[in-house]
Amino acid sequence: MDEHLNIRRAARAHDWTACARIVFWQLFSRTFDGQKSITKHALLPYLNIWNEKHPSKTIPVALTTFSLHEDLSSKFDPAEEIDAADNEFCNAFLEYAEGASDNSGAIERVKHFATSIRSSVLAIQINRWIRDFPDQHQRWRTGKLISGPTFLDDEAAANDAEGAWEHIDLLFSHSRHDRAIPEIPTNKIEVAYREWERSLL
């Protein structure tokens, strides 16, 4: 059992690992449609940031899995330089698309959705750091040492991450708490979580 009990409390403690762990477990208490909806809406805050940063390559906010894939694919030019936050958002989308596909079993689907949600928050956190410390970001990109805070240490970036996790908590609280089918035994969820946690290292 998590000491913070819910995502909001973990977020206010800036315990990002606990936030991700609670999300992973809570996803199992939602149907596939519920999991997909929560994850999709977790992507929207950074989608708005993407549209501000890339005005010539905006993506509609009203999304389905396939329209998001088509829009992102058509607007992403590999020759165009994107920053670390944009890259994290792209990862969040790809994980969402994998989870929403018919190819994933119940456990693998949750792993994809949990990674997508975590990456969506990381994108927001990294974006704030890049915006406030552009010189540090450029040094980091070129492999040089940075003298200021990293995105993990920056207070403003952490506050943005807190707000993003609280948004995730709200998405869960407004969704139906309906056990996903098939029901997965607790011990299997625990094993799946440990595997997922190791995959993030």
Rounded Cα distance between 34 and 39, Å, is 9
pLDDT tens digit sequence for 115-174: 999 999 999 999 999 998 888 878 777 777 667 677 777 899 999 999 999 999 999 998
Token pair for residue 165?
Answer: 């996790």
Rounded Cα distance between 32 and 47, Å, is 22
Token pair for residue 97?
Answer: 């698309």
**What is the DSSP code string of 173-185?**
HTS-----SSPPP
Task: Name the DSSP class of 100.
Answer: H
pLDDT tens digit sequence for 42-101: 999 998 898 888 887 777 665 555 455 555 655 555 445 688 899 899 899 889 989 988
Other Cβ atoms within 10 Å of 57 Cβ, number:
15
As a whole-number percent, the residues of the chain with pLDDT over 90 amount to 51
Q: What share of the chain is helix, strand, coil (3-state, %, to 5)?
A: 70, 0, 30
